[in-house]
């Protein structure tokens, strides 16, 4: 296969940290290459050099056999390289069409005003099978629509090499299938596609070849059809790993958190959570499944005191927490902890160090005007060691960590606070498989200590293996609660789309599995 990209001896360091060490990598024309590696292994850094965000300290880059110098994203664009980042680079107040136009700059020429840009964009969209409204504003778009726009942008700019960083992290199963169809179409037209991902099942489905990085070094590559998930995992981490998720059986206590007839509105004023009833017992993991935008975010924020409720009750340890501030809720009883899906925007302060982020929930408890950072520094060091966080020191700013390591800092801080209810929204999003299984083990440790856990997830296989019960939401409504040990992905999938509802008029869960719900403050067994 003719090479579209050749990286030879590429190295990049940030201070004393070597992100990439003497990497050689080749990507063929018309090839989909999956780039695998643990968090902090240097995947994104390597691709940022190819897309012009960073420049290598040493080494050479060849495009179509010619040695090139890529010192800016504009230079990469002229070479036919486009990157779709994990965090989208869109102007929220602009339409889809305007977001594409502003990247064309002077090269748009007469087309900018004449309307030919619209025709050109829609021709590209039709050619690759994109369904997009060019006049829709970005702030009104779903996550999948924003990603579609990002991919369409780089194709409209003439990219023949497309890099996708964690492209399926926030997509539903159906949206992932549509994305893969687009990638296969791109491959058929001779585009080279590089996917940075941690989802091994998707790697096996979509890629032609897999390249693996470990600790900033290139381990090797294998043809996808000649490997397995287990082999890829061993290449990533350097040793064998057990891919089974345990679900310890714990004697359940009375409900620690009860939600009764809860109704919550979205930022736009629409009903996001509509009359929800459920509870979480100590020693139990309750999963929350649903298509993105079904009210999971608003539900978690309401429980944490970050969003006002329209009506309903939230009872923690027998006492109402409705109207309490987030600080008071976190201190209520033993404490309640919330791990948001927006880890940098809401969960952590990116410019502060790991130590200072550990202290964010407790600095008000300090006596006097000075904050004692000694204990926080010790906690930060313990968290770095226990969760295998890749960081030079406890004083490293969080913004300098990889996405997966940022998530570990957030989870470590919340568990250190000793909660009896833990609210987790996508706690393994962006984590490599080794780190993900570490998080599952930590959640099970908390479960065995009697903590009640609300686990909002997106991988149904993981939820069925990890969760005792799974609550399914669709358009803000409860579709039913099923047992993790005898429910199926098919049933849950139907409930997620609204095709199946197993909650009867009395509020009981019928049809799939025996379970308990809260009705009038009492536990009731469904039929």
Highest mean pLDDT among 240-244, 356-360, 454-458: 454-458
**Token code pair at residue 179:** 């994305």
Pairing of β 452-456 and β 469-474: unpaired
Q: Say yes or no: 88 and 172 in one domain.
A: yes
Helix (H, G, I), strand (E, B) or coil at 444: helix
* Domain count across the chain: 3
Confidence of residue 29 (pLDDT cuts 50, 70, 90): very high
Residue 251 CB partners (closer than 8 Å, separation 6+): 283
Q: Say yes or no: 79 and 29 in one domain.
A: yes
CA–CA distance from 499 to each of 129, 477, 493, 494 (Å)? 26, 13, 9, 5
- CB burial of residue 113 (10 Å; 0-12, 13-18, 19+): exposed
In the predicted model, is pLDDT for residue 519 greater than 50? no
Sheet (strand 477-483) strand order? 336-339, 421-425, 452-456, 284-289, 469-474, 477-483
Please write the tens of the pLDDT for every residue from 133-169.
999 999 888 777 888 899 999 999 889 999 998 888 7
| DSSP H helical ranges for 139-228 | 143-156, 173-188, 200-206
Q: Say yes or no: 138 and 224 in one domain.
A: yes
**Token code pair at residue 157:** 């700019």
Q: Say yes or no: 178 and 298 in one domain.
A: no
Confidence of residue 105 (pLDDT cuts 50, 70, 90): low
Q: How far apart are alpha carbons 155 and 153 in whole angstroms? A: 5
CATH code, domain carrying 423: 3.40.50.300
Q: Is residue 346 part of a domain?
A: no
Contact 500, 487 (CB under 8 A): no
Q: Of the candidates 399, 417, 435, which is a domain's last residue? A: 417
Q: Say yes or no: 386 and 476 in one domain.
A: no
Q: Is residue 344 part of a domain?
A: no
Q: Is residue 166 part of a domain?
A: yes
**Token code pair at residue 432:** 């490599």
Helix (H, G, I), strand (E, B) or coil at 474: strand
Q: How far apart are alpha carbons 511 and 279 in whole angstroms? A: 20
Q: Say yes or no: 378 and 424 in one domain.
A: no
Q: Of the candidates 391, 417, 443, which is a domain's last residue? A: 417
Q: Say yes or no: 368 and 328 in one domain.
A: no
Q: Say yes or no: 107 and 194 in one domain.
A: yes
Q: What is the mean pLDDT of residues 349-362?
A: 84
The DSSP code sequence of 343-408 is IIIII--TTSBHHHHHTTTTGGGSSSSS---HHHHHHHHHHHHHTT---S-TTSBGGGS-HHHHHH
Q: How far apart are alpha carbons 209 and 348 in whole angstroms? A: 36
Confidence of residue 345 (pLDDT cuts 50, 70, 90): low
Closest CA to 263 of 326, 307, 304: 307
Q: Which of 102-111, 136-145, 258-267 has the lowest mean pLDDT?
A: 102-111
Please, how many CA atoms are within 13 Å of residue 74, restricted to the half-sphere of its CB? 6
Residues of the domain holding 153: 3-237
Q: How far apart are alpha carbons 366 and 360 in whole angstroms? A: 11
Q: Is residue 432 part of a domain?
A: yes
DSSP summary character for residue 274: E
In the predicted model, is pLDDT for residue 429 greater than 70? yes
- Report the 10 Å Cβ neighbour count for 393: 13
Residue 130 is predicted with a pLDDT of 86
Confidence of residue 75 (pLDDT cuts 50, 70, 90): very high
Contact 220, 235 (CB under 8 A): yes
Q: Say yes or no: 70 and 126 in one domain.
A: yes
Q: How far apart are alpha carbons 404 and 196 in whole angstroms? A: 13
Q: Is residue 372 part of a domain?
A: yes
Q: Which of 84-98, 114-128, 171-185, 329-343 has the lowest mean pLDDT?
A: 329-343
Mean of pLDDT over the chain: 84
* More confidently predicted of 186 and 503: 186
In the predicted model, is pLDDT for residue 334 greater than 60? no
Q: Say yes or no: 427 and 413 in one domain.
A: no
Q: Is residue 245 part of a domain?
A: no
In the predicted model, is pLDDT for residue 509 greater than 60? no
Q: Percentage of the chain with pLDDT > 90?
A: 39
Angle, in degrees to the nearest 10, between helices 173-188 and 143-156: 10
In the predicted model, is pLDDT for residue 520 greater than 80? no
Residue 332 is predicted with a pLDDT of 66
In the predicted model, is pLDDT for residue 337 greater than 60? no
Angle at CA of residue 350, ends 349 and 354, nearest 5°: 80
Please write the tens of the pLDDT for every residue from 245-260.
888 888 877 889 999 9
Report pTM.
0.70
Q: How far apart are alpha carbons 493 and 460 in whole angstroms? A: 9
Handedness of CA 406, 412, 414, 417 (dihedral sign): negative
Residue 471 is predicted with a pLDDT of 94
Q: Say yes or no: 259 and 116 in one domain.
A: no
Q: Is residue 270 part of a domain?
A: yes
Q: Of the candidates 206, 237, 268, which is a domain's last residue? A: 237
Q: Say yes or no: 173 and 207 in one domain.
A: yes
Q: Which of 84-88, 117-121, 234-238, 510-514 has the lowest mean pLDDT?
A: 510-514
Q: Is residue 148 part of a domain?
A: yes
Q: What is the mean pLDDT of residues 470-480?
A: 92
Question: Which residues partner with 83 through β-bridges?
Answer: 163
Please, how many CA atoms are within 13 Å of residue 485, restricted to the half-sphere of its CB? 8
């Amino acid at each position: 296969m003719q090479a579209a990209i050749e990286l030879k001896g590429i190295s990049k360091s940030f201070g004393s940290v070597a992100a990439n060490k003497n990497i050689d990598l080749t990507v063929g024309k018309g090839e989909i290459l999956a780039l695998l590696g643990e968090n902090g292994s240097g995947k994104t850094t390597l691709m940022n050099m190819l897309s012009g965000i960073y420049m290598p300290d040493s080494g050479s880059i060849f495009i179509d056999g010619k040695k090139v110098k890529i010192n800016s994203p504009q230079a990469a664009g002229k070479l036919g390289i486009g990157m779709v980042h994990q965090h989208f680079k869109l102007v929220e107040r602009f339409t889809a069409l305007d977001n594409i136009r502003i990247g064309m700059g002077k090269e748009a020429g007469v087309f900018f005003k004449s309307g030919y840009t619209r025709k050109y964009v829609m021709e590209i969209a039709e050619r690759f099978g994109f369904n997009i409204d060019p006049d829709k504003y970005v702030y009104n778009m779903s996550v999948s629509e924003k990603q579609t726009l990002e991919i369409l942008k780089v194709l409209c700019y003439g990219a023949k090499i497309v890099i996708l960083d964690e492209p399926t992290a926030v997509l539903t199963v159906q949206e992932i299938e549509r994305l893969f169809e687009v990638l296969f179409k791109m491959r058929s037209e001779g585009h080279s596609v590089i996917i940075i991902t941690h989802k091994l099942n998707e790697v096996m489905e979509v890629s032609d070849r897999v390249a693996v990085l470990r600790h900033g070094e290139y381990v090797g590559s294998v043809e996808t059809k000649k490997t397995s998930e287990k082999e890829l995992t061993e290449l990533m981490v350097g040793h064998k790993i057990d891919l089974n998720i345990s679900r310890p059986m714990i004697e359940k206590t009375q409900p620690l958190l009860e939600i009764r007839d809860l109704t919550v509105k979205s930022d736009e004023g629409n009903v996001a959570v509509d009359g929800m009833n459920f509870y979480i017992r100590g020693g139990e993991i309750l999963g929350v499944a649903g298509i993105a935008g079904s009210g999971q975010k608003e539900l978690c924020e309401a429980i944490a005191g970050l969003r006002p409720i329209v009506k309903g009750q939230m009872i923690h340890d027998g006492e109402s927490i409705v109207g309490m501030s987030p600080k008071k809720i976190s201190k209520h009883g033993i404490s309640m902890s919330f791990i948001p899906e927006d880890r940098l925007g809401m969960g952590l302060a990116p410019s502060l160090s790991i130590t200072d982020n550990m202290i964010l929930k407790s600095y008000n408890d300090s006596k006097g005007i000075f904050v004692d950072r000694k204990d926080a520094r010790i906690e930060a060091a313990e968290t770095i060691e226990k969760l295998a966080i890749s960081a030079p020191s406890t004083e490293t700013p969080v913004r300098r960590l990889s996405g997966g390591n940022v998530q570990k800092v957030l989870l470590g801080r919340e568990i250190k606070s000793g909660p009896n209810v833990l609210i987790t929204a996508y706690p393994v999003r962006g984590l490599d498989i080794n780190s993900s299984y570490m998080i599952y083990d930590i959640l099970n440790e908390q479960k065995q200590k009697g903590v009640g856990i609300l686990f909002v997830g997106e991988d149904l296989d993981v939820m069925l293996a990890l969760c005792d019960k799974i609550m399914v939401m669709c358009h803000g409504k409860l579709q039913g609660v099923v047992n993790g040990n005898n429910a199926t992905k098919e049933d849950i999938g139907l409930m997620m789309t609204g095709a199946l509802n197993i909650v009867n008029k009395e509020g009981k869960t019928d049809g799939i599995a025996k379970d308990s719900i809260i009705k009038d403050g009492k536990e009731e067994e469904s039929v």
